[in-house]
Amino acid sequence: MSKDRLPGWKDLPRGGVILEAGNAREYETGEWRSTICPKWKPEKCIHCLFCWVYCPDAAIRVENGKMIGIDYKYCKGCGICAKECPVKGKAIDMVPENEATS
């Protein structure tokens, strides 16, 4: 959102409260990711969804009960998903930024 589109003080809810539910989605925490990030290896994934449970943000994309990839918009590179992945040899590796998204 560009600066000139932010609302003025008269248009803001009193006391800094947030009235819309679920608007954390608008806050793209992946903007400040660390230098490493998760790389998913679909061929190894058993779709246990441990990564989805443990992810402290909304970086694990799930569809029809299956892991379908990583949403880097919300990934801070904490590595919890890779750490908790129970698969032998891991279905998620933490790698340098350019290797994960290539």
The stretch near another protein (CB under 8 A) out of 18-26, 35-43, 72-80, 93-101 is 18-26
Strands 36-40 and 60-63: unpaired
Out of 2, 4, 5, 21, the only residue in the binding site for another protein (CB under 8 A) is 21
Q: Which one, 19 or 89, has the nearer CB to another protein?
A: 19
Structure tokens of 57? Answer: 């943000």
Cα separations (Å) of 68 from 34, 47, 49?
22, 9, 10
The stretch near another protein (CB under 8 A) out of 10-18, 36-44, 54-62, 76-84 is 10-18
Asked if residue 46 lies in contact with residue 65, where contact means CB atoms within 8 angstroms, the answer is no
By CB under 8 A, tell whether 15 contacts another protein.
yes
Q: Which one, 29 or 48, has the nearer CB to another protein?
A: 29
By CB under 8 A, tell whether 26 contacts another protein.
no
